[in-house]
Chain A
Amino acid sequence: MLVVGLAAAMPLAASAQTTLRIGMTAADIPRTLGQPDQGFEGNRFTGLTMYDGLTMWDLSSADKASVMIPALATEWKVDDADKKKWTFKLRPGVTFHDGSPFNADAVVWNVEKVLKQDAPQFDPSQVGVTASRMPTLASARKIDDMTVELTTKEPDSFLPINLTNLFMASPSKWQKFYDTAEGADAKAKSQAAWAAFAKDASGTGPWKMSSFTPRERLELVKNEKYWDKARVPKVDKMLLLPMPEANARTAALLSGQVDWIEAPAPDAVPQIKQRGFILKSNESPHVWPWQFSRVEGSPWNDIRVRKAANLCVDREGLKDGLLGGLMVPATGTFEPGHPWRGNVTFKIKYDKPAAQKLMQEAGFGPNKKLSVKVQTSASGSGQMLPLPMNEYLQQALAECYFDVKLDVIEWNTLFTNWRRGTKDPSANGANATNVTYAAMDPFFALVRFLQSSMAPPVSNNWGYINNPKFDELVTKARQTFEPAARDAALAELHAASVDDAAFLYVAHDVAPRAMSPKVKGFVQPKSWFVDFSPISMTP
């Protein structure tokens, strides 16, 4: 009888599917065609789930910094004679979701989708989110089926790290759509093929697209044939739902409509915990800074002033008070334990007497305050709580003889002005700007701010920093190809920037997310990204 009962129950147990439902902060499903939009949230949900790059981030540890590891390439090396040429050995036996093989042709095809304007698959809409993340990549060439050569415009040791952002889409699947697409010319057919591909995507990642309703939901199912057996997802389905409003996300979690939400409403955190939900957070490669103007006449040209500002902010107070614990005090772009931290000698901490002393040495005091103006926004991606946080700084710095004026503008405008620089009229005379930044790779984290040639209009050296030591260290890091030595060079660059108090370093975001206690096995890494594979759901 028992055997009969068990046998009857077994099909039910076998068919019980587990689904992980996630409320994203995005207002729309990030693009699904291989190069997601919406910044790193896009990469998190529709990039790293359905696709792989030649390299990827190790997201397995909550304690160590996420580092780059092999993915679809198993090994790579730069040419000894020509440092602009790289050879990548590809992982054998990998197939796309549509069953077609991943090989050197697929890599060349994917490089050309964003770099070669006369290639049929060239898609301008994917260029913006790709080319800027690998600015030196010039071309790709097949050597044999499982070997590919990539060429950069200049020697650049950062290339393997940057390649984490180039996701491999299936050329065969795209070609099928192209062959049947309607359009007046090749360009129109290509656009139609990409539109069709976005609705029925095919990558090599651990998750496969099963259904997609734009702006509403994306349903992914596990890829049983994923090349890394250890990362075959444990849940059967993952449902991604855009929920841009924090209170709506929180209500969806509390009412059991979803199992996981990104960035819960901060004032609901106590209720979330009280009702048995789990709050996860970790130091993120993200910096909330003031970026100083360094043009002639700027008050920040005096290193005593820059150091004083850094010493005058009680970051622990900011964390425990205003931000309810949801930040990590910043003592640089990278914190201790990170391979690019380096031997920093200027210890950033709260030391008001030291800050006041420095300001007095610089000629300021209670009766002679230093007037500074900072441009910021009222909201924005990664800006955390920009207005209250800046008002906190305003009050804190007042005790060190600063008179801070805030110039609050709309986020997109601030972002545009970031590129234009402090000399542009759009800066409104501000001598600092408050734009947060991602610090995943060396170019984004350091080079674009510190190298003199990255001054506007080239990139984000908003304040026209022109320090020969930084330039020298950037070149050294770019041209050091042995990974450990490259990391050491980057650490040297970072330490030099902190010792020079290049920015007012305030906070790192902690990527808070709340989830049902049914969600098991989740590791929140020190990264913008998440590995959904090890997650399981208890009934």
Chain B
Amino acid sequence: MFVYVARRIVYVIPIVVSVALVCFLLVHITPGDPLVAILPADASQELAAQLRIAYGFDRPLPVQFGLWLWKAVHGDLGHSIATGRPVLTEVMRAVGNTVTLAIAAATIGFTLGLFFGLIAGYFRDTWVDKLATSIAIAGVSVPHYWLGMVLVIIFSVQLNWLPAVGAGPGGSGAWGWDWEHIRYLILPAITTSVIPMGIVTRTVRALTGDILSQDFVEALRAKGLRETHVFRHVIKNAAPTAMAVMGLQLGYMLGGSILIETVFSWPGSGLLLNSAIFQRDLPLLQGTILVLALFFVCLNLMVDIAQAAIDPRIKRG
């Protein structure tokens, strides 16, 4: 197990460096001037050159990348061009808000996904299966920003039950799992949960159906085990795959959804990315992408390790 974990960690290093390189290059090769955010177009050439030097944009790209990576390894992602605030502080605050949203959305999505998936798998080809499958298809098909707007129109604008935007009465700086804050979380969390709900439903349904058709289930039933015991075996067999799917979905959610967070002005990593892109704030954009990529890679690593811990066949593979 130790060797497996060590090998997986070593595999992660080139992935992270590649991600860092790609995101660094992507934001540098796009047209336009990174100083547009702070430098009006009628600023003098002298001033533009002065700021270009101050931000290090005058240096060759490999040098810029090397310096950026070196500092990043030491926990310094630079300062936002637009606000002057440390990128790491900005990103971590946003990631914290996204994690809050992802936890809420994952709880809703995975609970409903498991429920629908299991009953669809157990009652395959019945109306229950058709209903659960339809809900799953709707979950993955509906444009979630559109769903978000519909929910806002119904629950905020028409019924005035829940807030339309924001992270709480005092902002996320005063976040707590109290009703006043949870009210702000409900609509974005439901909107974010529909895709994982749909995907988990479909995965679990397929797994359940597959497992139920296997010989060992027949054997368990033949031994006279109660259906609740059989169900436990089904869950145990389905768990590794379902966890992998859930891990990936959680990774996507931790990456933040630009659209959902923008629709709800939820101050997470998606909204941060949105504003970094629009302000062409390169240090912020690079830092955000790097941190999110690291989250994604770490999450996948944890899922892999957890899968291996549950299913010994994976370690052997």
Chain B neighbourhood of A217, CB < 8 A: 171
Q: Within residues 214 to 258 of chain A, which ones have a CB less than 8 A from any CB in chain B?
A: 214-217, 241-245, 247-249, 251-252, 254-257
- A interface, by DSSP: helix, strand, loop or mixed? mixed
B188 to chain A, nearest CB (A): 11
Q: Which of A140-156 contact B (CB under 8 A)?
A: none
1/0 contact trace for B267-278 toward A, CB 8 Å? 100011011001
Interface residue from A132, A426, A457 paired with B40 (Cβ < 8 Å): A132
Task: Check B43–A247 contact: CB distance below 8 A.
Answer: no
- B residues 132-179 with Cβ under 8 Å of A? 149, 152-153, 156-157, 160, 163-167, 170-173
- Which of B77-85, B103-111, B217-225, B299-307 is the interface stretch? B77-85
Cβ-defined contact, B167 with A216, below 8 A: yes
Point out the residue from A128, A198, A459 that lies within 8 Å of B39, measured CB to CB: A128
B83 and A444 contacting across the interface, CB-CB below 8 Å: no
Residues of A within 8 A of B79 (CB): 191
Within 8 A of A (CB), among B31-62: 31-33, 35-45, 47, 50-51, 54
Query: Given the complex, which residues of A lie within 8 Å of B50, measured CB to CB?
Result: 124, 127
Interface centre among B85, B164, B271 (most CB of A within 10 A): B164
Does B76 sit at the interface, judged by CB under 8 A? no
The answer, yes or no, to whether B264 is at the interface (CB within 8 Å) is yes
Minimum distance in angstroms from B93 CB to a CB of chain A: 7
**Known interface pairs A245-B265, A251-B157, A416-B31; A457-B173 also in contact (CB < 8 Å):** no
Task: Tell me if A320 is interfacial: C-beta within 8 Å of chain B.
Answer: no
With an 8 A cutoff between CB atoms, is A108 at the interface?
no
Q: Is A28 an interface residue (CB 8 A)?
A: yes
Does A415 sit at the interface, judged by CB under 8 A?
yes
Q: Which residues from chain A contact B35 at a C-beta distance below 8 Å?
A: 128
Cβ–Cβ contact B84 & A244, under 8 A: no
Which among A37, A125, A251, A444 is the interface contact of B156 at CB below 8 angstroms?
A251
The residue in chain A whose Cβ has the minimal distance to the Cβ of B45 is: A457
Which residue of A has the minimal Cβ distance to B184?
A257
Please, how many angstroms separate the alpha-carbon atoms of A43 and B45 in the complex?
Answer: 24
Q: Please, which residues of chain B bring their CB within 8 A of the CB of A257?
A: 156, 163-166
Q: Are A416 and B36 in contact (CB under 8 A)?
A: yes
User: Is A362 in contact with chain B by the CB < 8 A criterion?
Assistant: no
Q: For residue A344, which residues in chain B have a CB less than 8 angstroms away from its CB?
A: none
Interface residue? A521 (CB, 8 A): no
Q: Are B32 and A413 in contact (CB under 8 A)?
A: yes
In the complex, the answer to whether A255 meets B272 with C-beta atoms within 8 Å is no
A195 touches B84 (CB 8 A): yes
Please state if B84 and A415 are interface contacts (CB–CB under 8 Å): no
Decide yes or no whether B262 CB sits under 8 A from chain A: yes
A213 touches B173 (CB 8 A): yes
Residue on B with the closest CB to A457?
A: B45
A528→B31 CA distance, assembly (Å): 30
Whole-angstrom distance between the alpha carbons of A412 and B278 in the complex? 8
Determine the chain A residues whose CB is within 8 A of the CB of B38 once the complex forms: 37, 125, 128-129
Evaluate contact between A255 and B163: CB separation under 8 angstroms.
yes
Chain B residues positioned under 8 Å from A135 (CB to CB): 44
Q: Spell out B's residues near A (CB within 8 Å).
A: 31-33, 35-45, 47, 50-51, 54, 79, 81-85, 90, 93-94, 149, 152-153, 156-157, 160, 163-167, 170-173, 262-265, 267, 271-272, 274-275, 278-280
Q: Could you list which residues of chain A lie within 8 angstroms of chain B, going by C-beta atoms?
A: 23, 27-28, 31, 33, 37-38, 124-125, 127-129, 131-133, 135, 191, 194-195, 198, 213-217, 241-245, 247-249, 251-252, 254-257, 409-410, 412-413, 415-416, 418-419, 426, 435, 444, 448, 457-460
